[in-house]
Amino acid sequence: MFKIIPIAAIAAGFANTNASSTFYVCATPQNADLDQSGFEALSWVEVGAVGQVGETGENTNILSYDTWNTDVIQKGKGMTNAGDPTLETARIADDAGQVIMRAAGATNFNYAFKIVGNDKPNDDPASRSTTRYNRGLVTGPTEPNGRNEDFDLEVYTLGLQQRQIKVAPVDGTV
């Protein structure tokens, strides 16, 4: 006997892709650490035509020290890097978010960033996708140029300055 399972239940068991995710920047520099409510209070501008966002999260150095009297190296945690992801965009001269990124790249200020995933649990207006908040410096853009069939790209490096805040998706029907 076969059991009928709704498509939504099947889809809920799979990992999500980055398709339909969005990247935002706040035009006002943020030179101090922010908590979740501080990030949520900011005004955000979507950066258009994002093709790729590099790795975010924490990377902690592992230190090691060997001594004459041991045969196994001693290890400990060192400094943590909040990340240095790249942001790749297909250049749109008048895209408001890209204009902000170009201006931010010319400063030595920290800016706030928000990545919103595509894992919203349902269509209820109170539902929300996973959101990642970051804050840091912007360098660039570099322009990879390329061949005749390549897109006109701009690539920024984000020097993140505080630990990422990750907010889980919210099911608005609860």
Q: Is the CB of residue 89 less than 8 Å from the CB of residue 50?
A: yes
Closest CA to 57 of 37, 35, 34, 80: 80
Work out the average pLDDT over 11-31: 86
Work out the average pLDDT over 43-67: 96
Closest CA to 114 of 55, 51, 170, 42: 42
Which amino acid is it at 119?
A: D
Q: Which letter does DSSP use for residue 48 in this model?
A: S
CATH topology of domain 18-167: Factor Xa Inhibitor (4.10.410)
Distance CA 174, CA 161 (A): 35
> Which tokens is 1 given?
């006997």
> Which tokens is 71 given?
């045969």
Confidence (pLDDT) at 14: 65
Q: Find the helix or strand (DSSP H, E) in which 52 lies.
A: strand 50-53
> Which tokens is 147 given?
């061949």
Distance CA 174, CA 171 (A): 6
Q: For residue range 88-142, what is the model confidence (pLDDT) as tens digits? A: 999 999 999 999 999 999 999 999 999 999 988 888 888 889 999 999 999 999 9
Q: For residue range 131-153, what is the model confidence (pLDDT) as tens digits? A: 999 999 999 999 999 889 899 99
3 pLDDT band, cuts 50/70/90, is low
